[in-house]
Amino acid sequence: MYRKILQCLLAALFLSAAFTASAGDFGAAPDAKAMLEKAVTALKADKASALVSFTKGKGGFKDRDLYPFCGGPDGLFSAHPSLVGKSLKDLKDKTGKAMGQDIYKVAQEGKIAAVAYMWPRPGSTEPVQKVSYVTKIGDQVCAVGYYR
């Protein structure tokens, strides 16, 4: 009986911790958009340095689950925490949606568009809806995504 009560209390504690994660633990739409705007400024100032900063998450380019990622004219990631050199343009989400092609299709210089797709949060394997704000800066297609 004591063991059963202890198991129930531990389960309740675990569930409570899982559900009390505040919205501040994750980036939101305004945060993602602001980071993309900051990334645009950095790319225009010094493209090579900016791409390195994005990849390494330096200079304010890593905030909770937000980070910029970019693809070059060849369709390969030029900035990403773990996918540099792999194809962004051919990337599909966890449901098979060609989200990489969508990102390249909507990217326009001086405009910010949004692409929604299913992707796991960092450290998870369960896909959830992610929305990436996308723009084009010179020959780079860059985005910052947030999870809904």
Note the pLDDT of residue 5: 40
Provide the residue ranges of all domains of the chain, joining segments of one domain with +: 25-147
Note the pLDDT of residue 23: 55
- 25-147: CATH number: 3.30.450.20
Note the pLDDT of residue 20: 35
For 31-80, write each residue's pLDDT tens digit.
999 999 999 999 999 999 999 999 999 999 999 999 999 999 999 999 99
For 84-117, write each residue's pLDDT tens digit.
999 999 999 989 999 999 999 999 999 999 999 9
98 CB-near residues (< 8 Å, 6+ apart): 90, 91, 92
H helix intervals, the chain: 2-19, 29-45, 47-56, 99-106
Note the pLDDT of residue 11: 43
Closest to 38 in 3D by CA, of 62, 72, 61, 56: 61
Predicted TM-score (pTM) above 0.85: no
For 126-139, write each residue's pLDDT tens digit.
999 999 999 999 99
Distance between CA 129 and CA 29 in Å, rounded? 13
